[in-house]
């Protein structure tokens, strides 16, 4: 059974990807510093799979810890999620984001080269496109100047990976630029668990419906969109997890010194108000929301062209927006 290191593997996307790796016949080895998740995620993965995944609590900036993992396991690939990701915080603490997000990638690539590990799937983001001039967004869409230090770290990390491949380092790399992950596993045992006030729309919706938040503010209803609210491409987290597994399998069939990038999205845009209405439909809950002023820095509308990942990886999303809202609500209810 191939052993795959997942950095940030106890986090939202990482934990769901660990499940999909296991379902595909691979064994996830998880490292996470628990700065944005909880250790009981490992217990919940065991409840779902019946398997206790190897877990290392620590920072993937630590070469010593990575060397320990290599001594304990024959790692044959890496999926690199571990990064700070709060856009707002990154504007307040840019050095924290540059040090962690870029530094951890440099440590990881050094470690991979020294241990002869060839394959890595990198967690990138549609933030690299900024506000695109043409929609939908293809992989050939020019990257724009980043809206935040967080977004800039993703651009810089992509550039580092390209240069590393060009140096004939003997690696194969895929960067997945994903759009807005939502939803949860159908078991309601794992899902998005933001610490503190949610930064993303759907956890704020579910927490408002559960009475944890008093109300939800929709930032602007006067944009050039179907109902005036911002448009995003929402992708179910299990579809996103499946894309990582397919990317990793695809890498194993390529020559060394290979680099490719794929968008991962539903291929359609939904407004904030459409997401709210989809939630209300599947949950039966009337959501307390108000229209507020526009929020500075918000991209008005963006969604993915997924033709490339459809054709090259044979990946297609299986879940609808309503599926995502249902699973998110079941997850929220399971938290009590």
Which residues are tagged catalytic? Answer: 150
Report which of 159, 87, 60, 81 is spatially closest to residue 123, judged by C-alpha positions. Answer: 81
Contacts of 28 (CB under 8 A, 6+ apart): 3, 4, 6, 9, 17, 18, 21, 22, 53
Question: Running DSSP on this structure, what letter comes out for residue 100?
Answer: I
Using CA atoms, how far apart are residues 268 and 316, in angstroms rounded to an integer?
Answer: 13
Report which of 274, 243, 300, 273 is spatially closest to residue 129, judged by C-alpha positions. Answer: 300
Report which of 251, 85, 236 is spatially closest to residue 161, judged by C-alpha positions. Answer: 251
Backbone angles phi, psi at 255, to 5 degrees: -70, 160
Report which of 259, 248, 247 is spatially closest to residue 167, judged by C-alpha positions. Answer: 259
Distances (CA, A) of 193 to 10, 27, 77, 166, 322: 11, 24, 27, 38, 20
Q: Where are the beta strands (DSSP E) in 94-243?
A: 119-125, 172-178, 180-182, 216-219, 231-232, 234-236
Which residues make beta-bridge pairs with 207?
none
């Amino acid at each position: 059974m191939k052993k795959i290191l997942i950095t940030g593997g106890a986090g939202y996307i990482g934990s769901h990807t660990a499940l999909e790796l296991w379902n595909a016949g691979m064994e996830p080895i998880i490292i996470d510093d628990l700065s944005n998740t909880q250790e009981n995620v490992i217990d919940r993965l065991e409840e779902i799979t019946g398997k206790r995944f190897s877990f290392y609590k620590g920072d993937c900036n630590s070469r010593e810890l990575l060397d320990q993992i290599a001594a304990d396991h024959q790692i044959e690939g890496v999926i690199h999620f571990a990064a700070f990701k709060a856009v707002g915080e990154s504007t307040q603490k840019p050095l924290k984001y540059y040090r962690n997000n870029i530094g951890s990638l440099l440590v990881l690539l050094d470690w991979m080269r020294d241990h002869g590990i060839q394959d890595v799937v990198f967690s990138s983001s549609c933030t690299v496109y900024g506000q695109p001039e043409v929609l939908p967004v293809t992989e050939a869409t020019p990257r724009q100047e980043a809206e935040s230090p967080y977004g800039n770290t993703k651009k810089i990390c992509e550039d580092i990976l390209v240069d590393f491949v060009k140096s004939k380092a003997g690696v194969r790399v895929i960067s997945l630029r994903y759009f807005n992950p939502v939803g949860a596993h159908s078991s309601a045992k794992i899902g998005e668990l933001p610490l503190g006030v949610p930064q993303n729309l759907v956890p704020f919706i579910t927490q408002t419906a559960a009475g944890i938040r008093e109300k939800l503010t929709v930032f602007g209803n006067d944009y050039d969109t179907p109902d005036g609210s911002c448009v995003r491409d929402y992708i179910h987290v299990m579809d996103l997890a499946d894309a990582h597994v397919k990317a990793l399998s695809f890498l194993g069939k390529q020559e060394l010194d290979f680099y490719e990038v794929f968008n991962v999205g539903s291929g359609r845009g939904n407004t904030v108000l459409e997401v709210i209405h989809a939630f209300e439909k599947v949950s039966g809950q009337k959501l307390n929301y108000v229209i507020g002023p526009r929020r500075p820095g918000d991209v008005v509308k963006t969604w993915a062209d997924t033709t490339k990942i459809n054709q090259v990886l044979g990946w297609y999303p299986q879940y609808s927006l309503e599926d995502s809202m249902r699973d998110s609500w079941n997850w929220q209810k399971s938290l009590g």
